[in-house]
Amino acid sequence: MSAHLVLIDALNLIRRIYAVQERPFLHNSELADNTKKQVLFNTVQACENALLKILESQEPTHALAVFDSKNPCWRYQLYPDYKKGRKKMPEHLAEKLNDIQDVFLKRNVDSLDSESDEADDLIATLATKVALRGQRVTIISTDKCYLSLLNQNIHVYDYFNRRYLDHQYAKEKFNVKPEQLLDLWTLTGDNTNKIPGVPSIGQVTAANLLNQYGSLNALLNATDIKASLREKLAQHREQIHLSKTLLTLKIDIPLGFNLKDIRLSQQD
């Protein structure tokens, strides 16, 4: 029987659900204690409902909710400004994550986190390993980073808008192929994670260059580009290398479990 693994980017799902539950009560940007309890209760219930809808619509044979490490990941060691200024998860929500994991487990969906790796890397490792066996993988997330993994076996599904973020979506949004996205973001930078790109190279320019030369490496070695661009790329070679390293998802993390360990029964 062919496997279908569903990987849930858990904090992506939970934080967006929490934001929806919190919004009606945010009058002065601060919640009263009794309101926090109500919002958290609603969030847990909504997360369980979301999980059930995901399982119903995707009909996976295997499923796993993947969480970020509680410790700073390896990217902070390479670049201390990684995600600088990004809004942190509310403490009261962070304290509720174990309860949400318990709710998921009640539905026979286990959770995975790491001491030092982000959910992005864990998901990329799992998805790649399973896809290499010719099995289907669906990543549940709105995070654009997973689009670089798209192939015939790896799919990305936006639960909130009920749509697949596929090759056509990537082409329409970024005007490059999925396999060129990493190079695109290296040139433009990734503002969400505060990863800098090459100054004054925006998405349109980066996409045009990649469509012309095929890859970042080919662009860096091209001899027919404008002198000003060649100089700019040369000046930022070190930054380009760092940004690409930060943006590259790891696909070789030791996992310590087998696919059979997260298999769902027909009854599930």
Work out the angle between the directed axes of helices 227-235 and 237-247 (0-180°, nearest 10). Answer: 60
Question: How many other C-beta atoms are found inside a 10 Å radius of the C-beta of residue 106?
Answer: 10
How far apart CA 28 and CA 54 sit, in angstroms, is 34
Please tell me whether 196 is known to bind a ligand: yes
Q: What's 24's DSSP letter?
A: G
Please tell me whether 120 is known to bind a ligand: yes
How far apart CA 73 and CA 19 sit, in angstroms, is 24
Phi, psi of 142 (to 5 degrees): -105, 5
Please tell me whether 198 is known to bind a ligand: yes
Q: Let me know: does 141 contact 15? Beta carbons within 8 Å.
A: no
Q: Let me know: does 55 contact 107? Beta carbons within 8 Å.
A: yes
How far apart CA 141 and CA 153 sit, in angstroms, is 16
Please tell me whether 103 is known to bind a ligand: no
How far apart CA 246 and CA 125 sit, in angstroms, is 16
How far apart CA 140 and CA 55 sit, in angstroms, is 11
Q: Extract long-range pairs of 255-262: CB within 8 Å, 24+ residues apart.
A: 255/122, 255/125, 255/126, 255/129, 259/3, 259/5, 259/62, 259/130, 261/110, 262/5, 262/62, 262/63, 262/64, 262/109, 262/110
Q: Let me know: does 185 contact 247? Beta carbons within 8 Å.
A: yes
Residues contributing to the annotated binding site for K(+): 187, 196, 198, 201
Residues making up the annotated binding site for Mg(2+) are: 120
Query: Annotated binding site, which residues?
Result: 120, 187, 196, 198, 201
